[in-house]
Amino acid sequence: MAVQETVERKYVYDFAEGNKDLKDLLGGKGANLAEMTNLGLPVPPGFTITTEACQEYLATGREPDGLADQVAAHLAALEQTMGRCLGDPDDPLLVSVRSGAKFSMPGMMETVLNVGLNDRSVVGLARQAAGSGGQADSAGAERFAWDSYRRLIQMFGKTVCEVPGEEFEHALDDVKRARGIRDDVELDADDLRGLVDAYKKIFRKHTGRDFPQEPREQLDLAVRAVFDSWNAERAVLYRRQERIPASLGTAVNVVAMVFGNLGPDSGTGVAFTRDPASGAQGIYGDYLANAQGEDVVAGIRNTIPLQELERLDKRSYDELLDIMARLERHYRDLCDIEFTIERGKLWMLQTRVGKRTAAAAFVIAGQLVDEGLIDLDEAVHRVNGAQLAQLMFPRFQLDHEFQAVARGIGASPGAAVGQVVFTSARAVELAAEGKRVILVRRETNPDDLQGMIAAQGILTSRGGKTSHAAVVARGMGKTCVSGADALEVDVPARRFTVAGQTVAEGDVVSIDGTTGNIYLGEVPVMPSEVVQYFEGNLDPERTDDALVRAVHRIMTHADQRRRLAVRANADTGADAARARRFGAQGIGLCRTEHMFLGDRRELVERLILARTDDEREKALAALLPLQRADFVEIFREMDGLPVTVRLIDPPLHEFLPPLEQLAVNVAVAQERGEDVAQEEALLAAVRRMHEENPMLGLRGVRLGLVIPGLFAMQVRAITEAAVQCARDGVTARPEIMVPLVGAVQELETVRAEAERIIAEVVGGSGVEVLIGTMIEVPRAALTAGQIAEAAQFFSFGTNDLTQMGWGFSRDDVEGAFFWRYLELGIFGISPFESLDRDGVGRLVRIAAEEGRAARPDLKLGVCGEHGGDPDSVHFFHEVGLDYVSCSPFRVPVARLEAGRAAVETTGSDSR
Ligand code: ADP
Ligand code: MG
Ligand code: MG
């Protein structure tokens, strides 16, 4: 019988074997440690256990076969390199065991330092430290060794054995109190030895066993704990919010320890190669002498600015700056780093391409182009529409006067200021008095909807980015901070407490939906300089605002590269003008509904109540000049650019007074004996037109086919307006769009009449009018080949298409249960926010392909909010649409994302 031989998988990589492109396998930290090692930078030796090992462990509940042996082999090699053995009683090698997933998940997973210390090797470590000289005397060396040991028990206990961290902290506080000292560094070796005893007792109490003395057992347990931390509750939550796939798993890095806590000539720090807040060049970092690992970020002691390291240790400082410059050139981007200095010797412990604010992203991309590190395509690729959108919100003007009292999750961006209220009803009341309010709740629910609409912003103490409050606020475009758990919200008492202060109903707070910061009092709000620029109020060539210059440059390049045109949805001349300033190349959706509101209601009522053709025609004739004037205004603003006008869409009863109000009016008038014939007729009409499901009822093309002359009047108004413009030297390019078409016959009927009118009105003016349709009913998408025979263009109405594709009534579902769907991961983002590629997107794709097959010059566009959503824009680019149309304010976002889609598909040679 042949021996079955399975080739064992490679689960462990030495740092020298990896590189920065192996993030999937080695995680970000491991891949970058390998990269730095191969660059010849001073990285302590070590190895990485792959994410695949983690995945197998999580799937099967045990370490994969061969892992233990591979770890043993790599550990032996490490011991050889270091010339000492893990946990050796005389001269111990110690290691850190560090998590590191593909995507950085700050603070979510675990790291254990000083693995290898036990009751015997702690003595060896002290001797080793004393022997190797430096500024530490033998008392200092003892202190260092026992400090390292107590840290191990603490970290190991907490992360590996789930001992409550506070217990260790309390024990530490007890010792400090007993000794009357404030700072950890003042503890002497005896204090720390005592603390080790106390920690061991705590460990025993919670685990029922002694702290493990066997170094390899410590290592294996720590590795396992890092694997397990991938599925810790907070990590799972974080991943869901950031849409990081749960299947990735984390790698584990085992790194030889270097010591920043060996005395005053040692220390540890973090640094950025540029300012991650503004993008400005310079040295940004913090340093802490005589400290280990997390002390810097934990804020236990006050750090010093990195610049001061120059005074303390010029050699290490110069070397660090040199390495930072090398890393930037190598990664061609801002990097953040962790380093430690052990007795004057610099060690690099981590680097990665650093996170940054939206403003810094633009500024840095611009700088890197200037420095010749990247080209403009790459610069466009490095920023995104979400960042640009963030920069277009007004911001708080913060000086030192304002300190955030707490911080929650930035769930829906913007800067909101108002008086605190605790109930929806109160929010509505105060808003009706013209007051600005912030609705504060533990968590909102569907009953809070009215209050949320009335409020400037929403603040909750519970829930994350997918909570009810967050989802609904984003849907409404309202500022929201969720999950501010430092707030104790007491709704019955109408107050909350935070950081020892009480905030009662009526007090003013300011919330920042981008950062999640909460301020007491009114923080002044300032307009966005980026919007000033788009408005044309800031000359990008003249300003010394680095952000505006960078935005200008990147947008200009995105515009050059993009294939998709960008239009705006605008219903008035003023909106059209603004859209044009923001770079719109036409109007993709001009709704005609508003033209039936206000003082024109009376005409609409006459139209609806008309009993004879004559009455109806009179009403339409009165509406005609009003509509025409509206169109003239828009065509003028959009001189030379296409304007898609949608024929009237919503159900007519929306233009009539609400049923209840009308019924009351009639009853009251009757009581008084007044003549109510007119009102009664109106009431009857409203009753007649009442629909159970208005979204699926008599609207769109259906209305046009039922009310004779309505569409004809609109077509005439549009065409006459265009002809009038032509006479005045303005080029109007109207495109008449028929809504809610489901069958080609509907469109053919409308079109026959429209063409007759157009031909009659246009005469010799040279005006050209296109006729096309919306594709927003699934049936239209599925019969697009037939519909294209009668349409010169399609515009995808993705809101209705989503609504009807999913069978979701948008007005109901977002508030009612979307939060639950998001929580369950049924979708990662509301399909009204970002196009559902698989389902609704498939309808778009089919319609685009079949429409173009039937009519090759068919113009394809999209109107609806998806037109301004970054991910959706990429999809529309892929599907081959000609343009996207979105609200004027989103136009820059769509321009940028269309440019990004183009540089990403054609590729950039700068890589
Ligand atoms: P995180 O991902 O939370 O930053 P790390 O794995 O980077 O966790 O480690 C936590 C801290 O311990 C960091 O400050 C890091 O620099 C420090 N550290 C990790 N490994 C070592 C080591 N081998 N020697 C000295 N310090 C280390
Ligand atoms: Mg780190
Ligand atoms: Mg629609």
Distance 75 CA to ligand 1 centre (A): 19
The DSSP line for 690-740 is --SSGGGSS-THHHHHHSTTHHHHHHHHHHHHHHHHHHTT---EEEEEETT
Beta carbons within 10 angstroms of residue 320's beta carbon: 24
Residue 350 Cβ inside 6 Å of ligand 1? The answer reads yes
Residue 258 Cβ inside 6 Å of ligand 1? The answer reads yes
For residue 260, which atom of ligand 1 is closest to its CA?
25
Which distant-in-sequence residues (6+ apart) come within 8 Å of 695 by Cβ?
800, 803, 809
Separation between Cα atoms, residue 91 and residue 85, nearest integer Å: 8
For residue 100, which atom of ligand 1 is closest to its CA?
2
Residue range 216-250, pLDDT digits in tens: 999 999 999 999 999 988 888 778 767 788 899 99
Distance 27 CA to ligand 1 centre (A): 15
pLDDT of residue 300: 61
Mutation test of ligand 1: which of 29, 113, 347, 352 has the most ligand atoms closer than 8 Å to its C-beta? 113
Q: What angle do CA 457, 459, 461 make, to 5 degrees?
A: 170
**Residue owning tokens 């905030």:** 503
pLDDT of residue 910: 35
Distance 806 CA to ligand 3 centre (A): 14
H helix count then E strand count, the chain: 36, 31
Q: Are 9 and 66 in contact (CB under 8 A)?
A: yes
Which ligand lies nearest the alpha carbon of 258? 1
pLDDT of residue 907: 52
The lowest-confidence range among 246-260, 563-577, 715-729, 801-815 is 801-815
Separation between Cα atoms, residue 12 and residue 897, nearest integer Å: 40
Separation between Cα atoms, residue 387 and residue 365, nearest integer Å: 13
pLDDT of residue 825: 76
Q: Select from 351, 352, 378, 353 the least CA-distant residue to 367.
A: 378
> Amino acid letter at 548?
V
Residue 104 Cβ inside 6 Å of ligand 1? The answer reads no
267-274 and 335-342 strand pairing: antiparallel
**Is residue 908's pLDDT more than 60?**
no
**Residue identifier of the C-alpha nearest atom 27 of ligand 1:** 293
Give the 3-state secondary structure of 205-246. HHHCCCCCCCHHHHHHHHHHHHHHHCCCHHHHHHHHHHCCCC
pLDDT of residue 1: 47
Residue range 378-400, pLDDT digits in tens: 999 999 999 999 899 998 988 76
Q: Select from 455, 415, 413 the least CA-distant residue to 437.
A: 455
**Residue identifier of the C-alpha nearest atom 24 of ligand 1:** 257
Mutation test of ligand 1: which of 350, 351, 352 has the most ligand atoms closer than 8 Å to its C-beta? 350
**Is residue 412's pLDDT more than 80?**
yes
Distance 823 CA to ligand 2 centre (A): 29
Tokens at 620, concatenated: 């339409």
Which ranges of 433-489 would DSSP assign to H, the alpha helix? 449-454, 468-476
**Residue identifier of the C-alpha nearest atom 8 of ligand 1:** 111
Residue 46 Cβ inside 6 Å of ligand 1? The answer reads no
Separation between Cα atoms, residue 504 and residue 129, nearest integer Å: 57
Distance 799 CA to ligand 3 centre (A): 6
* DSSP SS3 for 325: helix
For residue 255, which atom of ligand 1 is closest to its CA?
23
Distance 107 CA to ligand 1 centre (A): 12
Distance 98 CA to ligand 2 centre (A): 8
457-460 and 437-441 strand pairing: parallel
Q: Select from 216, 275, 258, 217 the least CA-distant residue to 33.
A: 258
Residue 369 Cβ inside 6 Å of ligand 1? The answer reads no
Residue 645 has phi, psi (to 5 degrees) of: -105, 125
For residue 111, which atom of ligand 1 is closest to its CA?
6
Beta carbons within 10 angstroms of residue 220's beta carbon: 18
Tokens at 377, concatenated: 């395509």
69 band by pLDDT with thresholds 50, 70 and 90: very high
User: What are the catalytic residues?
Assistant: 468, 863
Tell me how far CA of residue 98 lies from CA of 29, 115, 550, 579, 766, in angstroms.
Answer: 9, 11, 38, 51, 73
**Residue owning tokens 């369950």:** 824
**Residue owning tokens 């989103």:** 890
Residue 44 Cβ inside 6 Å of ligand 1? The answer reads yes
**Residue owning tokens 């010093």:** 304
**Is residue 134's pLDDT more than 60?**
no
Residue 293 Cβ inside 6 Å of ligand 1? The answer reads yes
- What is the rounded average pLDDT for all residues in the chain? 92
Residue 262 Cβ inside 6 Å of ligand 1? The answer reads no
Residue 250 Cβ inside 6 Å of ligand 1? The answer reads no
Q: Are 497 and 488 in contact (CB under 8 A)?
A: yes
Q: Are 717 and 700 in contact (CB under 8 A)?
A: no
Half-sphere exposure of 491 (CA within 13 A, CB side): 14
